């Protein structure tokens, strides 16, 4: 059970509970208490001095604090760790008027994290992997028994294991005679179950002796940017090892369109197929070595990726995905031998490829829908996977509708002057002193800042908008008394960190162009949701819950995402984050054949809307190119907060 501690901040009289080991300055951000900090949490600016009045914190001692002040209890908040209940006083030089903070306090909320419950799968009787091993002891042939080896094996399986409609692959026939005689006709057969009950069970491998307790599967998410894999024990359901790496295709284009263009060049398709196969093989080799399993005991690999990534892996021409009427080569794929698509696995390993719905709603989204159990739930759910391309699914067990929209690279740092992917030194959290307009920054890894990641971009834009530093068009209020708002080469910007506070020896700033790019990205996603809901005759008020998928979703401050109009305004308790839903779905398919049976029906029942050909989409998009939207009635809580602050400002 996680230990929690209470922090009381003075003079604000605000209390917050945090987990043991939480960083003090992050706790202050969570509580809405502003402490001056501009070095990202590295402890070099010395501006986040606080006084520990009761209790103790771990760390926080720095040369920035004199010996005399240390003895009094002064510490640097960014270097202090909470290990018990404490009372913290924020000195006057680091604090703002408590009444001002109270007016502007909005709790920081990230989505509740939900993971697949393996026990539920077992309790429901659904833990039935698509492959299994059966150990059998066969009677040896003699002068009275001349049954062929294959007939002997199949007959015994049918007689003792109730397996009907068995087929045997050619590689098994080739190896069976020697395998049977290696251990006195004691053998373990690997069987691949059919997708449908009417299908045939195939014997895909045989091994001498009893290896029935060793059978493994691999789940793989083939993302445009990254590829992740897990090695799964198909007897217990446990993940034995996992690893991720950048997709080798990024050298040939960062998005699917640029890769399709490259694939159209001579030799391009072969090259893109080869590099993604190499990426997958590198991950497979690492997770197999790390878990110390015999590659011969791996029976299946499940792969989920968007439509373009899938066709490139299978070496299928993706040319027509990006041309109207946007037709993929296929949405359903049969089981494939892994070696036939360039994967460094034994020739008996079956590759199970997740089906797609359309050119831009691919197997990764279908895997997410399946992994999240969306298709089995009565609640009306909005499922969102946010990245360079945002995919949206709305529905429940009775119906599902989906769409994809191009959000652009802003959420991954692209198109932002100092944008970067989430890595050490990226500004991920931000607060603003509404009296002095000084920033409070936190970076990943508590290092000096070197850029802005997507979650940080959302938070700082939302905070600046609510406090009036920028207007609903994303333009800076140039009349504010601060030197941080300035013009540089005709572009207005706000300086987040001065050069001597950064890793890059340059001022790090947020520009109006950056905010404009963010507004376009969030506008594309929000208008996609609105359009999809409108097309099915519903509105945001009908949504029971939101599921966020992808690495981006785990770090998004929900209130801030709603403030800028990225997400619809909904009770944060109704929002769930499920992480890499594509990998989750691939894992689920490795553990239960039920998913493989259901997914075919689900993909056929999902109604896809091509937003570029939906008349209302552009109107909705233009309306969303404001903070948060042209129609503030869609954001009643924010509207009320803004009205209260505007009234108090006048008063």
Q: Among 105, 140, 159, where does a domain finish?
A: 105
Number of domains, the chain: 2
**Does residue 38 form part of some domain?**
yes
- Cα–Cα distance list, 299 to 214, 264, 296, 434 (Å): 10, 34, 8, 60
Q: Are residues 146 and 203 in the same domain?
A: yes
How far is Cα 291 from Cα 286, in angstroms, rounded to an integer? 9
Q: Among 208, 238, 254, where does a domain finish?
A: 208
* Cβ atoms of 52 and 451 closer than 8 Å: no
Instruction: Note the pLDDT of residue 248.
Output: 87
**Does residue 197 form part of some domain?**
yes
Q: Are residues 81 and 13 in the same domain?
A: yes
Instruction: Note the pLDDT of residue 42.
Output: 75
Q: Are residues 20 and 101 in the same domain?
A: yes
The encoded tokens of residue 9 equal 């901040």
**Does residue 339 form part of some domain?**
no
Average pLDDT per block of 10 residues along the chain, 651 residues long: 87 87 86 72 78 92 85 90 93 46 42 58 77 93 91 87 77 94 96 80 94 96 91 94 89 85 94 95 96 96 96 96 91 93 95 94 93 89 85 94 86 84 86 91 89 92 96 96 95 95 91 96 94 92 89 75 93 86 91 86 91 90 96 92 72 48
Instruction: Note the pLDDT of residue 550.
Output: 77
SS3 420: coil
**Does residue 80 form part of some domain?**
yes
Say which residue the tokens 């089995």 belong to.
376
- Cα–Cα distance list, 462 to 40, 433, 532, 645 (Å): 19, 14, 25, 15
How far is Cα 199 from Cα 193, in angstroms, rounded to an integer? 8
How far is Cα 219 from Cα 217, in angstroms, rounded to an integer? 7
Q: Which CATH number covers residue 89?
A: 3.10.20.30
Q: Are residues 101 and 9 in the same domain?
A: yes
How far is Cα 291 from Cα 441, in angstroms, rounded to an integer? 40
Q: Are residues 145 and 189 in the same domain?
A: yes
Q: Omega before 606 cis (within 30°)?
A: no
Q: Are residues 45 and 82 in the same domain?
A: yes
Please tell me the pTM assigned to this model: 0.78
Q: Which CATH number covers residue 173?
A: 3.10.20.880
The encoded tokens of residue 202 equal 């195939």
Instruction: Note the pLDDT of residue 399.
Output: 94
* Cβ atoms of 139 and 145 closer than 8 Å: yes
**Does residue 94 form part of some domain?**
yes
**Does residue 486 form part of some domain?**
no
Q: Are residues 96 and 10 in the same domain?
A: yes
Q: Are residues 134 and 78 in the same domain?
A: no
**What residues make up the domain containing 28?**
4-105
**Does residue 417 form part of some domain?**
no
Q: Are residues 134 and 81 in the same domain?
A: no
The encoded tokens of residue 542 equal 């009908």
**Does residue 86 form part of some domain?**
yes
Q: Are residues 84 and 176 in the same domain?
A: no
How far is Cα 624 from Cα 630, in angstroms, rounded to an integer? 6
How far is Cα 211 from Cα 295, in angstroms, rounded to an integer? 13
Count of alpha carbons within 13 angstroms of residue 261, beta-carbon side: 7
Instruction: Note the pLDDT of residue 580.
Output: 86
Taken in order 565, 571, 574, 579, the sign of the CA dihedral is positive
Q: Are residues 101 and 135 in the same domain?
A: no
The encoded tokens of residue 455 equal 């979650």
Q: Are residues 85 and 151 in the same domain?
A: no
């Amino acid at each position: 059970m996680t230990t929690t501690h209470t922090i009381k901040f003075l003079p604000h009289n605000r209390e917050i509970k945090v987990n043991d080991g939480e960083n003090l300055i992050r706790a202050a951000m969570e509580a809405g208490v502003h402490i001056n900090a501009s070095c990202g949490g590295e402890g070099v600016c010395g501006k986040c001095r606080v006084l520990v009045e009761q209790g103790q914190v771990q760390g926080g001692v720095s040369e920035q604090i004199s010996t005399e002040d240390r003895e009094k209890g002064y510490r640097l908040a960014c270097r202090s760790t909470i290990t018990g209940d404490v009372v913290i006083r924020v000195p006057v030089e680091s604090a703002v008027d408590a009444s001002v903070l109270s007016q502007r306090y909005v709790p920081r909320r990230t989505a509740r994290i939900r993971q697949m419950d393996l026990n539920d799968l077992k309790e429901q009787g659904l833990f039935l992997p698509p492959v299994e091993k059966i150990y059998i002891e066969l009677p040896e042939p003699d002068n009275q028994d001349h049954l062929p080896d294959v007939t002997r094996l199949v007959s015994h399986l049918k007689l003792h294991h109730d397996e009907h409609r068995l087929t045997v692959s050619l590689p098994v026939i080739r190896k069976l005679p020697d395998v049977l005689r290696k251990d006195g006709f004691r053998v373990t057969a690997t069987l691949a179950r059919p997708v449908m009950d009417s299908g045939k069970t195939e014997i895909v491998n045989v091994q001498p002796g009893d290896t029935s307790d060793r059978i493994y599967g691999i789940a793989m998410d083939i993302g445009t940017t990254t590829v992740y894999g897990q090695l799964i024990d198909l007897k217990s359901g446990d993940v034995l090892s996992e690893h991720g790496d950048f997709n080798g295709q990024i050298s040939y284009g960062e998005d699917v369109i640029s890769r399709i263009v490259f694939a159209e060049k001579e030799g391009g398709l072969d090259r893109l197929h080869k590099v993604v196969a190499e990426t997958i093989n590198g991950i497979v080799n690492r997770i197999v070595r790390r878990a110390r399993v015999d590659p011969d005991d791996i029976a299946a690999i499940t792969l989920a990726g968007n439509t373009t990534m899938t066709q490139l892996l299978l070496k299928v021409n993706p040319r027509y995905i990006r041309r109207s009427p946007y037709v993929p080569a296929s949405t359903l794929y049969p089981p494939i031998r892994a070696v036939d698509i360039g994967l460094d696995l034994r020739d008996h390993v079956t590759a199970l490829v997740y089906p797609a719905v359309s050119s831009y709603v691919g197997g990764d989204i279908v895997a997410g829908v399946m992994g999240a159990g969306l298709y089995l739930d009565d609640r009306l759910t909005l499922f969102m996977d946010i990245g360079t391309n945002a995919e949206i699914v709305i529905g429940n067990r009775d119906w599902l509708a989906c769409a994809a929209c191009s959000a652009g690279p802003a959420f991954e740092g692209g198109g932002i002057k100092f944008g970067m992917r989430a890595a050490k030194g990226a500004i991920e959290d931000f607060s603003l002193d509404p009296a002095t307009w000084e920033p409070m920054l936190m970076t990943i890894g508590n290092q000096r800042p070197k850029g802005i990641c997507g979650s940080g971009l959302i938070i700082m834009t939302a905070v600046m908008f609510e406090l009036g530093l920028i207007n609903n068009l994303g333009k800076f209020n140039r009349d504010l008394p601060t030197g941080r708002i300035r013009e540089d080469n005709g572009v207005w910007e706000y300086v987040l960190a001065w050069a001597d506070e950064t890793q890059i020896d340059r001022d790090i700033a947020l520009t109006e162009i950056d905010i404009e790019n963010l507004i376009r990205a969030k506008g594309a996603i929000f208008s996609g949701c609105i359009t999809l809901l409108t097309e099915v005759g519903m509105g945001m008020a009908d949504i029971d819950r939101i599921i966020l998928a992808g690495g981006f979703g785990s770090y998004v401050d929900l209130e801030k995402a709603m403030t800028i109009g990225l997400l619809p305004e909904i009770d944060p308790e109704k929002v769930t984050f499920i992480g890499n839903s594509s990998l989750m779905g691939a894992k689920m398919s490795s553990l239960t054949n039920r998913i493989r049976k259901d997914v075919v029906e689900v993909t056929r029942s999902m109604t896809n809307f091509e937003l570029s050909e939906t008349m209302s989409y552009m109107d909705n998009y233009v309306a969303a190119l404001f903070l948060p939207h042209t129609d503030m009635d869609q954001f009643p809580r924010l509207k009320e907060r803004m009205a209260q602050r505007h009234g108090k400002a006048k008063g």
